[in-house]
A = this chain, B = another copy of it.
Amino acid sequence: MSADPAIAPAGTAAGGVDPVHAAAEHLPAPSRVAITDVRPVVDAGRFPVKRVEGDVMVVSAVVCADGHDELRAQVLHRRGDRAWHTAEMQRRPDGRWETEVALTGLGRHQYAVEAWVDEVATWDRTIARKRAAGQDVALDEASRDEAAARPRRQHLVATPALDVVVERTLAGCSSWYEFFPRSTVDGTHRHATLRDAIDRLDQVAAMGFDVVYLPPIHPIGHTFRKGRDNTTVASADDVGSPWAIGDEHGGHDAVHPQLGTREDVRALVRACRERGMELALDVAFQCSHDHPWVREHPEWFHVRADGSIAHAENPPKRYDDIVPLNFDTDDWPALWQALANVVRSWRALGVRTFRVDNPHTKPFAFWEWLIAEMHREDPGVVFLAEAFAPPPVMLHLAKVGFTQSYTHFPWQHAPWQLEQYMRHLVTGEAAEYFRSNAWPQTPDILTEELQQGIRPAFVCRLVLAATLGASYGIYGPAFETMAHEARPGAEEYAHNEKYELRSWPPGEHALTSEITTINRIRRQMRALQHDRSLHFHRCDNDRIVAFSKTAPRRTHGSDPTGDTSDDPVLVIATTDHWSTQAGTVHLDLDALGVPGASGAGTWDDYEAIDLFGGERYRWSGAHNLVILDPNHHPVHVLRLRPANGRTTSSTTDRTNEGVGA
């Protein structure tokens, strides 16, 4: 074991100071200043912190020295390899030093902390105190002048640089709409195309979504193709699962011939952009048996003892239509490059956002390299990890670079579950690198709560997802129509669109209005565009959940537009979709902050405007009764502001701010 190269030698004692050696080399005395606990940090700097363009990042540290000298500290900050900038740190009441760094420009930035003794300031303080006590200061003034004559930063010490990856605004706040382009919404029963998908965009944009996400659009394998409802034998007209990628028409860089061409993808990208949205494609690094790579690169797969290629499985579950890639292959460098080229080929058509299928079945090191490579070429690429895995794995994927991550939100039903789960993700170190994207349902997930098929359940889960998460998404047509029939004994949709064409009925769906409203509220209230301020409030009815978010300080020079508000948002929802529930919510007023610094009203008297339901309440103090009738207003999305009408934004007073307005 003593020869094990993996064991690095422990740091030498005394931080490496050797006076005997130092005397021989005439080295100066080591610094007397110590800098510890620099924040934010992830795994002691092994992984970068994440932020979003325009964020103001607070950098803080513990700075101390022996004695009573005046200390000074500053943050060094640079974008990429550009010049370093400095920002002086101030000492906080709790003893930590901090400053703010405005993060402008996408990509990797670095920051470090320097600290030193300010001799002149120390002498000045000494002189001032002695003078005040009537003591002689002549000698100290001489020392001060001598120090001022040879200005230097005494005992200067600096920390190693830490990394922060700055991503697009969309990375931190986005609403996703998923649909299968091969299905229709025009009443016809046929295999639709990417051109048909373009025709669906107006409705998606009207609901206010940012991202249109399509499951894999590649050719689908024929061998062991899945049949309807996940049967293992397909009939001749079964379309198969889009995740069984590849056939004679091509693999991951090809488009399913019944969907269209690569040029259609380019057109779809452009059509999204024209409507203020962007297209997200599905990155599923696995193959069907008919994928070209199976023939061209058998070494990229698991070869069994009989020479056959192993299909995917998680025993006793089998996925016969899919063969997983073998990342342990000796040819792994070529495999990695081929996969990177897949992503590049779609980026070449203008796609910058990718939802990654099951990243937890591919090596961490691969993702870390791939995401960094893609970010070197375009720091605005967004990767959403779809990894329903143990929390350490989900967190690790976020550390290695995934921009956003699905979470186990669908299964958090009770208020205590929602609080416990979300709090774990938005506080502590996870808040520095993990961005949750909350989905009430997906093509793979139809929870029992929604299987009940009642409207209040869908409304509550929509609003919870869209307010708990700065990023959220819905599997669109199924959600809008409140589809709720499940495959018996499973948490899966019956007649699952993964295995067959669907024809969603045209026209307004049950929840279009609510979806449109909540997306409009998210655009209006800056508080909902971030997760860090999420705070849960107590309610004496344990069926009711209450939480709030507050808007972070705006960056210098950015003014609130007429359409946005910095007021805090308080969400109160029932988890009882059948009966009315009532209870008193006990607000943590500090967590909510005071709305309006311009001498606005106190918390003794303030307005709670339900932006979702349209009603206005006059509240007083920290304890307020709420009554939630699932059939009327099962959830409130309350904008809080002083009763005198002043707000923190220039928003004009909007009286009718409810559903349908």
B364 A2 Cβ-Cβ under 8 A = no
CB nearest neighbor in B for A44: B44
CB nearest neighbor in B for A19: B333
B22 A333 Cβ-Cβ under 8 A = yes
B66 A363 Cβ-Cβ under 8 A = yes
User: A490 on the interface (CB 8 Å rule)?
Assistant: no
Cβ distance A79 to chain B, nearest Cβ, rounded Å:
12
User: A562 on the interface (CB 8 Å rule)?
Assistant: no
CB nearest neighbor in B for A135: B316
User: A17 on the interface (CB 8 Å rule)?
Assistant: yes
Contact of A23 with B333 at beta-carbon distance under 8 Å, contacts A66-B361, A316-B133 already known: yes
Contact of A6 with B67 at beta-carbon distance under 8 Å, contacts A13-B372, A29-B329, A305-B139 already known: no
Cβ distance A342 to chain B, nearest Cβ, rounded Å:
15
CB nearest neighbor in B for A3: B84
8 Å CB contact of A68 from B65, B142, B314: B314
Segment among A153-161, A263-271, A549-557, A607-615 that sits at the interface with chain B: A153-161
A306 B139 Cβ-Cβ under 8 A = yes
CB nearest neighbor in B for A126: B315
User: A7 on the interface (CB 8 Å rule)?
Assistant: yes
A11 to B330, CA, bound (A): 26
User: A149 on the interface (CB 8 Å rule)?
Assistant: no
A304 B143 Cβ-Cβ under 8 A = yes
**A26 contacts which chain B residues (CB < 8 A)?**
330
User: A368 on the interface (CB 8 Å rule)?
Assistant: yes
- Chain A 297-340: CB-based contact to B (< 8 A → 1; otherwise 0): 00000001110100000111010000000011110111011000
- Chain A 127-156: CB-based contact to B (< 8 A → 1; otherwise 0): 001101101000100110010000000001
B161 A7 Cβ-Cβ under 8 A = yes
B142 A360 Cβ-Cβ under 8 A = no
Copies per complex of this chain: 2
Cβ distance A423 to chain B, nearest Cβ, rounded Å:
16
User: A31 on the interface (CB 8 Å rule)?
Assistant: yes
**A509 contacts which chain B residues (CB < 8 A)?**
none
A15 B368 Cβ-Cβ under 8 A = yes
User: A43 on the interface (CB 8 Å rule)?
Assistant: yes
A2 B337 Cβ-Cβ under 8 A = no
User: A112 on the interface (CB 8 Å rule)?
Assistant: yes
Cβ distance A56 to chain B, nearest Cβ, rounded Å:
21
- In chain A, positions 9-51 with a C-beta closer than 8 Å to chain B are 9-11, 13-15, 17, 19-20, 22-23, 26, 28-32, 34, 36-37, 43-46
User: A236 on the interface (CB 8 Å rule)?
Assistant: no
Cβ distance A69 to chain B, nearest Cβ, rounded Å:
11
**A81 contacts which chain B residues (CB < 8 A)?**
2
User: A211 on the interface (CB 8 Å rule)?
Assistant: no
User: A392 on the interface (CB 8 Å rule)?
Assistant: yes
Cβ distance A222 to chain B, nearest Cβ, rounded Å:
23
- In chain A, positions 409-431 with a C-beta closer than 8 Å to chain B are none
8 Å CB contact of A305 from B13, B32, B142, B362: B142
User: A4 on the interface (CB 8 Å rule)?
Assistant: yes
A529 to B577, CA, bound (A): 55
Cβ distance A524 to chain B, nearest Cβ, rounded Å:
37
**A348 contacts which chain B residues (CB < 8 A)?**
none
A334 to B26, CA, bound (A): 12
Name 24 A/B residue pairs within 8 A (Cβ), A-sorted.
Answer: A2-B81, A2-B84, A4-B76, A4-B158, A7-B160, A7-B161, A10-B108, A13-B376, A17-B368, A19-B332, A22-B332, A29-B329, A29-B332, A30-B363, A31-B365, A64-B392, A64-B396, A67-B360, A95-B391, A129-B316, A130-B316, A133-B316, A135-B318, A139-B308
Kindly list the 5 A-B residue pairs having the minimum CB-CB distance in the complex, ordered from nearest: A1-B84, A6-B158, A133-B316, A44-B44, A142-B305
A residues apposed to B, CB below 8 Å: 1-2, 4, 6-11, 13-15, 17, 19-20, 22-23, 26, 28-32, 34, 36-37, 43-46, 62-68, 76, 78, 81, 83-84, 86, 95, 108, 110, 112, 114, 125-126, 129-130, 132-133, 135, 139, 142-143, 146, 156-158, 160-163, 304-306, 308, 314-316, 318, 327-330, 332-334, 336-337, 359-365, 368-369, 372-373, 376, 390-393, 396
